[in-house]
Amino acid sequence: MTTAAIELSPDLTMEELLGVFPGARRTLFQLHHIGGCSSCGFSPSETLSQICARNGGLDPVAVLGELKEGHLKDEALLISPNDLYLRINDSALRLLDIRTREEFEAVAIPGSRFMTQEIMQESMNWPKETEIILIDHSGSRVLDAAAYFAGHGFSKVKGLKGGIDAYSEQADPSLPRYTTEAA
C-alpha cells in the first residue's frame, strides 16, 4: 500500500497506517512511548485519533506528520533490489543475512553471509564507514537491524527494501521465492 492508494488522516486505523508506514510503531514508541509494550500497546483496529486521545491528548495531525517524517527516515535506510543487484559484485559491500539458518541455506543472495553471533561480534570491529546491506525475507526486520548498526556508529548501513523476496522477484528471478508461516 502506498500513500497514493490511501488518503492519510488521523481517522485511519493503525492497521491501515502500518500498511502505509511500516515503521509507524517504532516512531510512535520512540517519540511518545506508544505501542512498544503491553502497557502502551494499541489494537490494529484503533484509529490514530483514538490512540492520541488516550495518550495525553496528543494532536493527531501532528503525530501523523511525525509518522510521515519517520517514514522518510526509514526510506533513507533502504536500498532497492535493483540498486543492490547493480552493485552485487562490489567488494566493498558486506551483505549480512538476518533470516533463519534454514531460510539462508535454502536460498541466499550470492556473496551474502548468514548473521551468526560470531559475525555480529566481528562486524563491531569493522571500520565504521563499511557499507553493510542487511537482508531478511520481506524487509520487515531490516530497519530495526539497520538502526542497531547505525546506533553503533556505522554510517553506511542499509536494509534491502522488500527483502530477498523482492530481490528475487524484481532483480534476480534465478533465486527461488518462498513463503514462511506466520508466527
Same-domain pairing of 57 and 108: no
pLDDT at 36: 75
pTM over 0.85: no
Q: Tell me 177's DSSP state.
A: P
CB-count burial class (<10 Å; 0-12, 13-18, 19+) for 30? middle
| Residue 10 backbone phi and psi in degrees, to 5 | -65, -10
Is 3 contained in some domain?
no
Is 176 contained in some domain?
no
Domain end point (choices 58, 75, 92): 75
Same-domain pairing of 61 and 89: no
Same-domain pairing of 93 and 117: yes
Q: Which domain holds residue 36?
A: 14-75
C-alpha grid cell for residue 164?
530477498
Domain end point (choices 29, 49, 75): 75
Query: pLDDT tens, 156-170?
Result: 999 999 999 999 999
Same-domain pairing of 53 and 83: no
Domain end point (choices 75, 94, 119): 75
Is 154 contained in some domain?
yes
Same-domain pairing of 68 and 112: no
Query: pLDDT tens, 64-123?
Result: 999 999 999 889 899 999 999 999 999 999 999 999 999 999 999 999 999 999 999 999
Is 178 contained in some domain?
no
Domain of residue 161, CATH code: 3.40.250.10
Report, in angstroms and rounded to the nearest whole number, the Rg of the chain calculated over CA atoms: 18
- What SS3 class is residue 114? strand
Is 179 contained in some domain?
no
Is 140 contained in some domain?
yes
Rounded CA-CA distance 42/140 in Å is 19
Is 2 contained in some domain?
no
User: How many separate domains does the chain show?
Assistant: 2
Is 7 contained in some domain?
no
SS percent in the chain: helix, strand, coil, step 5: 45, 10, 45
Query: pLDDT tens, 169-178?
Result: 999 999 999 9
How does residue 151 score in pLDDT terms, banded at 50, 70 and 90? confident
